[in-house]
Structure formats: structure tokens, C-alpha cells
């Protein structure tokens, strides 16, 4: 199912046109069904591109201080299409003195990522840890106000640039109590978490808002159940929560368990997205990495996987060598297992929630740019999003302009360097040396209109 740029998508209305529409719709449905067949192989050669072909992202934590390390950024730019600042968006980094905000290091990461088509996860707005000393010594209503102001200021500053925020991090106790963690924030009142989510929604209505925690992987654990009950309660009362992050720091004391997929799917069934947010595994066993990725791919609402660092030497647990690249930046066996899982993984079996739009019925026209042609092709479609692929012919130094229909949003791109207009709906994609085929994921947000190629020009 292809659309050349500048194709006229207006529906025709005569009997022949109706026949054409029915036939074309049947073909599209067949193509869509095929896209949901398990085991569809794809030719992705990097983590990000392979994940994107499955409608997911593959991300990493990034430290601003390492962006000057060429080995590090080469791997980052080649392999990943999502980034989480490891420490630079935390409270002590962004508001070191009360009311005085500091965004430099976070912006460095955000700009690096977005200029290369990577999305950004924001981490984290409200947390008992890594508080600046002024906040650590606060309590009661003054702390509540300061926390809400922090959430509002930081989320407003990065509005439109962060696809998902860890609004609240690690608010539950470990062990069997299922209780909230006893922190200065908790002592401001049990409603501090929902208050933080409401403030974040008001500040950045377009971002997904996540609750993020560790030791919530085993479905039978009290902490997992406690977080589940909180999310269920929030959904039932309309508290604005969109996603749950599973840090997934696996080690010998806190190993991966086979009911992890049950945990992800059970949360997703509450009506939230799920994300693997800080994955690292002691010793980096390939089979375990593979299982985690397969579990995510098996759950339609699992948006993607973030590993907590690139090379073992970048890890907060470097001695456990828990990552996908060794300290020299070479791929480990776990890398191969993850890539294979992304390429061979089954796509979710649940059908799209909205019927696809009628495909175009008119022949292509010549693009105004004149000297190259861009052809848009539908790719995989999920319940909330779809992929498109654009093939350019006629030039290697191309610039292609693509528009999506609001409230659609492009959440991921691959094999090109994108910039957006101020509305965020028109993407200008430039060749970046990765060839003449680029792709992108569009979050439908209820609208399934196909993106339109507006022009193809030679730079």
C-alpha cells in the first residue's frame, strides 16, 4: 500500500470509485492482518531501527558528561532512538537552590537526542532521593508546595520535548508490607503522588505521565501488587496517569522472573502503557536479555525498553558488567540476543481499535521539489500507533517534508535527521547517510489519517 508524495486523497464518490475503495480497503485489511502475523522477520540492524519496526523504542540512559566521548556517542547515535538523562533532570540537578533552576546539562542531552530523531524520557520530577539539601530539610505544606512548584516548572520548561515523564519515582517500600515508602514527601500526605501527576498534566498535557519503580517485576511480590492497586485506584478516580515504568535492575538478589510478562500485561490491562525503564542484568546473560525483550514485545502496550547505560564502564554497577556493550564499546552476546529478539519477535495480536483510513485512489503527481521522489508506505499498525516508511529516489542528499494530522504526533524516527515546525505536525527529514529509506512512528491519538509527503527536494 503506497502513496506517492502529493497524492490527492480526496474520496471519489461514483460506483466505480466505491468498488475501488472496497477493493483497496480489503487489500489494506489483508496487509494489516499480515502485519500482525507472528514471527514476521525484519531486517533491522540496530536496536533502535529494529525496535521502531515493531512500533517500539530502544533507549539508553545518557550522562551529559560522556557526550564528548566519541566511542560513546558513536554507539549512542547508531543504536538508540530514545534517551533518558541518567541524573541531569533529577531534582538536585534542576533546582539546586530553591526557585533557581538549572537546565544546562539536561538540555545538552535533550538537544543531542532530538536533533537526531531520538525521543526523550524525563526522569524524574518527584523522588525521595537526590533531593537538593534545601528540599531534604523541608516538610509539611511548605514541602508539598515546593514539590508541586518543581514539577510545574521543570515539566513546563521541557514541554513538548519529553514524550514520557517519570513523574514520581520509587514511592513504595521494599519487602512484604506493600506500604508507601516513609519519606518527607509521603509525610506531606498520602495524596502527594496524585497531586504531582495533576501538576505534571497541567504543565505538559502532551507528555505521557508514568509512575516508575524497581522490584516491581515479580507479579507475586507485595510491592508489585501495591503499585498495581495504586494505578487501578488512580484510573478509577481519573488521576492522570498514562504509564508505569519497570526499572528492571536484575541481579542475583533480585533476578528476572518468568512471570514478568504477566506483570507487564496485568498493568497494561488497567489501561496504562508499560515501559522497561532502567534495564540492566548482572553478568548480562543473553537469554535473560532476550526474555525481557520478548516479554515487552508480547504486550501491545509495552512501548519500549531502556537500558541503564551503554557500555559496562558507563553502568552504576560497572563491576557486574550488566550492559549490552563491553567497556571498549564492543557488542556482547546479550546485544545479539536483543537484536534477534527485536527482529524475530512477534507483534501484538490485538487488532487496531479503529479501522484504517481509506487508502488513496488517485495516481501520484510530480513533487514540487522536482528532482527527487518520495514514496510513503504503510507499515505495521497497532492499537494506538502506526509506522510509515518513506523511500526516496533520485538523490542521496534529499530533504523530505511529511505532515501528520493533529492530534497525531510522531514519536520515533529512524534513518534520517528530523526537524519539526512550531506546530510539531510537519516534519522535515534530511538524509543522514543511512540510505534512501527512512521511517517514523505516529501516535494516532484517535486519528488514523495517513501522513502526507509534501515535498522532496535535493539539499
Q: How far apart are the first and last CA of the chain?
A: 28
Least Å distance between CB 87 and ligand 9MR?
Answer: 5
Residue from 71, 130, 251, 265 in contact with ligand 9MR (CB under 6 A) = 130
- Under rule CB under 6 A, which residues in 76-115 are in contact with ligand 9MR? 86-87
Is the dihedral angle over the CA atoms 313, 317, 319, 321 positive or is it negative?
A: negative
- Under rule CB under 6 A, which residues in 162-181 are in contact with ligand 9MR? 169
Q: Which residue, 87 or 98, is less far from ligand 9MR as judged by CB?
A: 87
Establish if 280 lies at the interface with ligand 9MR (CB under 6 A). no
Is the dihedral angle over the CA atoms 324, 437, 85, 442 positive or is it negative?
A: negative
Q: Which residue, 134 or 316, is less far from ligand 9MR as judged by CB?
A: 316
d(CA 432, CA 37): 32
Residue from 53, 204, 278, 294 in contact with ligand 9MR (CB under 6 A) = 278
Q: Which residue's C-beta sits nearest to ligand 9MR?
A: 316
Known active-site residue 278: yes
Secondary structure of residue 26 in the 3-state scheme: helix
Least Å distance between CB 195 and ligand 9MR?
Answer: 21
d(CA 182, CA 139): 13
Secondary structure of residue 235 in the 3-state scheme: helix
- Ramachandran angles phi, psi of 122, nearest 5°: -90, 130
- Ramachandran angles phi, psi of 228, nearest 5°: -55, -45
DSSP 306: E
Catalytic residue among 3, 95, 194, 278: 278
Residue from 19, 74, 129, 258 in contact with ligand 9MR (CB under 6 A) = 129
Least Å distance between CB 216 and ligand 9MR?
Answer: 12
Residue 213 burial (CB count, 10 A): 24
Catalytic residue among 53, 170, 194, 294: 170
Establish if 247 lies at the interface with ligand 9MR (CB under 6 A). yes
- CA 378, chain centre distance (Å): 20
Contact string (CB under 6 A) for ligand 9MR, positions 362-401, x = contact? ----------------------------------------
d(CA 77, CA 230): 37
Q: Which residue, 130 or 405, is less far from ligand 9MR as judged by CB?
A: 130
Contact string (CB under 6 A) for ligand 9MR, positions 325-364, x = contact? ----------------------------------------
- Return all residues near 238 (Cβ < 8 A) that are at least 6 apart: none
- Ramachandran angles phi, psi of 414, nearest 5°: -150, 155
Query: Can you spell out the DSSP letters for 28-70?
Result: HHHHHHHHTSTT------SHHHHHHHTT-EEEEEE-GGGTT-H
User: Residue 272, preceding bond cis, omega within 30 degrees?
Assistant: no
- Under rule CB under 6 A, which residues in 296-325 are in contact with ligand 9MR? 316
Nearest to 217 by CA among 295, 154, 150, 272: 295
- Under rule CB under 6 A, which residues in 208-227 are in contact with ligand 9MR? 214
Q: Which residue, 244 or 342, is less far from ligand 9MR as judged by CB?
A: 244
Q: Which residue, 5 or 292, is less far from ligand 9MR as judged by CB?
A: 292
Contact at 8 Å (CB) between 374 and 429?
A: no
Size of the site for ligand 9MR (CB under 6 A): 9
Q: Which residue, 254 or 449, is less far from ligand 9MR as judged by CB?
A: 254
Contact at 8 Å (CB) between 82 and 58?
A: yes
Known active-site residue 170: yes
Q: Which residue, 87 or 425, is less far from ligand 9MR as judged by CB?
A: 87
Residue 271, C-alpha cell as written in the block:
489501561
Q: Which residue, 218 or 387, is less far from ligand 9MR as judged by CB?
A: 218
Establish if 36 lies at the interface with ligand 9MR (CB under 6 A). no
Looking at the annotation, which residues are catalytic?
A: 170, 278
Q: Which residues bind ligand 9MR (CB under 6 A)?
A: 86-87, 129-130, 169, 214, 247, 278, 316
Amino acid at each position: 500500500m503506497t502513496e506517492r508524495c502529493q497524492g490527492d486523497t480526496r474520496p471519489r464518490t461514483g460506483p466505480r470509485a466505491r468498488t475501488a475503495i472496497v477493493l483497496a480497503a480489503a487489500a489494506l485489511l489483508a496487509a494489516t492482518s499480515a502485519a500482525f502475523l507472528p514471527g514476521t522477520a525484519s531486517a533491522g540492524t540496530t536496536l533502535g531501527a529494529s525496535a521502531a519496526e515493531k512500533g517500539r523504542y530502544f533507549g539508553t540512559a545518557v550522562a551529559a558528561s560522556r557526550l564528548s566521548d566519541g566511542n560513546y556517542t558513536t554507539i549512542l547515535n547508531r543504536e538508540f532512538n530514545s534517551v533518558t538523562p541518567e541524573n541531569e533532570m533529577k531534582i538536585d540537578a534542576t533546582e539546586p537552590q530553591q526557585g533557581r533552576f538549572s537546565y544546562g546539562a539536561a538540555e545538552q542531552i535533550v538537544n543531542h537526542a532530538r536533533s537526531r530523531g531520538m525521543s526523550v524520557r524525563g526522569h524524574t520530577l518527584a523522588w525521595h532521593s537526590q533531593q537538593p539539601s534545601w528540599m531534604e530539610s523541608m516538610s509539611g505544606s511548605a514541602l508539598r508546595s515546593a514539590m508541586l512548584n518543581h514539577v510545574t516548572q521543570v515539566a513546563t520548561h521541557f514541554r513538548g520535548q519529553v514524550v514520557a515523564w517519570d513523574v514520581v519515582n520509587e514511592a513504595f517500600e521494599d519487602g512484604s508490607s506493600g506500604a508507601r515508602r516513609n519519606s518527607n514527601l509521603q509525610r506531606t500526605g498520602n495524596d502527594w503522588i496524585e497531586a504531582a501527576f495533576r501538576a505534571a498534566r497541567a504543565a505538559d498535557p502532551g507528555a505521557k505521565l508514568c509512575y516508575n519503580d524497581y522490584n516491581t517485576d515479580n507479579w507475586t511480590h507485595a510491592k508489585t501488587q501495591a503499585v498495581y492497586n495504586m494505578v487501578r485506584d488512580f484510573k478509577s478516580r481519573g488521576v492522570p496517569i498514562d504509564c508505569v515504568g519497570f526499572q528492571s535492575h536484575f541481579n542475583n538478589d533480585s533476578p528476572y522472573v518468568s512471570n514478568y510478562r504477566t506483570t507487564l500485561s496485568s498493568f497494561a490491562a488497567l489501561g496504562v502503557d508499560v515501559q522497561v525503564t532502567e534495564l540492566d542484568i548482572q553478568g548480562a546473560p543473553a537469554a535473560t536479555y532476550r526474555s525481557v525483550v520478548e516479554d515487552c514485545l508480547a504486550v501491545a502496550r509495552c512501548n519500549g525498553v531502556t537500558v541503564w547505560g551503554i557500555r559496562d564502564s558507563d553502568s552504576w554497577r560497572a563491576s557486574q558488567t550488566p550492559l549490552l556493550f563491553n567497556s571498549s564499546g564492543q557488542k556482547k552476546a546479550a546485544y545479539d540476543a536483543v537484536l534477534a529478539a527485536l527482529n524475530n519477535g512477534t507483534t501484538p495480536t490485538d487488532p487496531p481499535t479503529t479501522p484504517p483510513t481509506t487508502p488513496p485512489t488517485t495516481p501520484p503527481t510530480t513533487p514540487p521539489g522536482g528532482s527527487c521522489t518520495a514514496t510513503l508506505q504503510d507499515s505495521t499498525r497497532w492499537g494506538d500507533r502506526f509506522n510509515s516508511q518513506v523511500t526516496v529516489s533520485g538523490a542521496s542528499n534529499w530533504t523530505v517534508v511529511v505532515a501528520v494530522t493533529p492530534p497525531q504526533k510522531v514519536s520515533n524516527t529512524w534513518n534520517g535527521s528530523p526537524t519539526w515546525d512550531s506546530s510539531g505536525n510537519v516534519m522535515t527529514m534530511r538524509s543522514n547517510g543511512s540510505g534512501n529509506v527512512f521511517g517514523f512512528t505516529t501516535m494516532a491519538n484517535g486519528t488514523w489519517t495517513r501522513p502526507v509527503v509534501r515535498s522532496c527536494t535535493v539539499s
